[in-house]
Amino acid sequence: MLTSAILSDLDAISDIHMDSITGSVSVLMGKKFVKNLYQTLFNDDNSTILVYKENNELIGFITYTTDFRKTNEEIKTKFSLSQMLIFLLKVTTNIHTMKLFIQQFLFHLYFPNHRIQGYIFIFTLAIKSRYRKQGIGTKLIKHIKIISRKSHSSIFLDTAGSNQKAINFYQKAGFHQVFNAFDNIGFLYQP
Ligand SMILES: CC(C)(COP(=O)(O)OP(=O)(O)OC[C@H]1O[C@@H](n2cnc3c(N)ncnc32)[C@H](O)[C@@H]1OP(=O)(O)O)[C@@H](O)C(=O)NCCC(=O)NCCS
């Protein structure tokens, strides 16, 4: 069953994120940080969290915004000074994260936020590992594609160049690659 997330889903969503979006800066920051991000999306008027449940078990989710600029501003205001310091500490003391951070920084110079404005922007999509390859991700993305057709807005997202499963997934879902820079691949779906 596909439905909008409720507040009590955020814990399960954060757990799936921690297990699935591996190697990301958010995961390195820890579950509390991740849950805070989902809490922000949950409260943000322009963002939606859709969940897929079977027998009351949360199996997967997708998050997106229809106004990237406003949602991004909202996320930034939730960063406290102490979180910023922890973030900088984690980024600068871990070589892998530092590389990731520099790549993300260069990527944003190459593809600045304002270029995402006007699109439906997908932040995250993840399915619990034992339920993957059963068409659940496709169900979630199909729903966003219907919204995209109804609202005449394209969908944009970016994923790590090393995430071959996700690349295959988005290609099969009808997205086409718009750029490949600093180990980030941008995908666009035009209704
Ligand atoms: C990417 C992801 C969301 C796909 O969800 P899913 O429910 O497993 O995908 P589906 O079963 O709907 O697969 C649809 C198509 O995607 C591609 N695909 C999915 N998983 C794949 C894999 N492990 N290897 C290769 N291709 C894959 C295939 O083309 C597949 O079609 P097929 O089953 O006819 O071969 C899931 O693997 C996941 O949660 N990964 C971890 C988190 C992540 O990387 N998220 C995306 C970046 S934010």
Q: What CATH number is associated with residue 60?
A: 3.40.630
Domain count, the chain: 1
**Alpha carbon of 136 to ligand 1 centroid (Å):** 9
In a domain, 182, yes or no: no
pLDDT interval class at 86 (50, 70, 90): confident
**Alpha carbon of 3 to ligand 1 centroid (Å):** 20
Taking the C-alpha atoms of residue 177 and residue 163, their distance in angstroms, rounded to an integer, is: 14
Residue 79 scores a pLDDT above 80: no
* Closest residue by Cα to residue 166 from 18, 3, 22, 34: 22
In a domain, 165, yes or no: no
Least confident range of 64-78, 103-117, 140-154, 163-177: 103-117
Residue 138 Cα: closest atom of ligand 1: 12
Say if residue 2 is exposed, middle or buried (CB neighbours under 10 Å; 0-12, 13-18, 19+). Answer: middle
In a domain, 63, yes or no: yes
In a domain, 163, yes or no: no
Least confident range of 2-6, 20-24, 79-83, 175-179: 79-83
Degrees to nearest 5, angle at CA 181 with 178 and 185: 50
Residue 144 scores a pLDDT above 80: yes
The mean pLDDT of 124-131, rounded to a whole number, is 98
In a domain, 162, yes or no: no
- Answer with the residue of higher pLDDT: 183 or 6: 6
Query: pTM above 0.85?
Result: yes
What was the pLDDT predicted at 168? 98
**Alpha carbon of 25 to ligand 1 centroid (Å):** 22
Beta 120-127 vs 155-160: how paired, if at all?
parallel
186 within ligand 1 shell (Cβ under 6 A): no
In a domain, 180, yes or no: no
* Closest residue by Cα to residue 136 from 2, 4, 25, 18: 2
The mean pLDDT of 123-147, rounded to a whole number, is 98
Residue 129 Cα: closest atom of ligand 1: 39
In a domain, 177, yes or no: no
Residue 4 scores a pLDDT above 90: yes
- Answer with the residue of higher pLDDT: 113 or 171: 171
Taking the C-alpha atoms of residue 71 and residue 74, their distance in angstroms, rounded to an integer, is: 5
In a domain, 78, yes or no: yes
Domain that holds residue 119: 2-152
